[in-house]
């Protein structure tokens, strides 16, 4: 399979192969994909855990209705208070 890499990644591959870190280009790419795959799984598990924790907290403490106008108003008030202090 052909790959089309940017010059920085191609240089990294050539340097890693020249240093003997991997036996060939395929081994390096396979290692990179395995590493990325593991990172993505870890990230997904972390996000899932954070969402579950937020849902649990909302179940315990309740939620407030979504009101963008109120959020904008409170934000504007905060900006005014901050500006007045300067």
pLDDT of amino acid 3:
81
Query: Distance from first CA to last CA of the chain, Å, rounded?
Result: 61
**Which single residue is written with the structure tokens 């934000």?**
75
Model confidence pLDDT, tens digit, residues 4-41: 899 999 999 999 999 999 999 999 999 999 999 999 99
Higher pLDDT pick, 31 / 82: 31
SS3 content of the chain, % helix, strand, coil (to 5): 80, 0, 20
């Amino acid at each position: 399979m052909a790959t089309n890499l940017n010059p920085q990644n191609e240089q990294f591959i050539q340097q890693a192969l020249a240093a003997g870190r991997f036996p060939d280009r395929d081994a390096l790419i396979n290692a990179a994909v395995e590493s990325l795959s593991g990172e993505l799984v870890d990230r997904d598990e972390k996000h899932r855990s954070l969402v579950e924790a937020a849902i649990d907290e909302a179940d315990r403490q309740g939620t407030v209705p979504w009101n963008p106008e109120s959020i904008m108003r409170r934000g504007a008030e905060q900006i005014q208070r901050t500006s007045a202090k300067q």
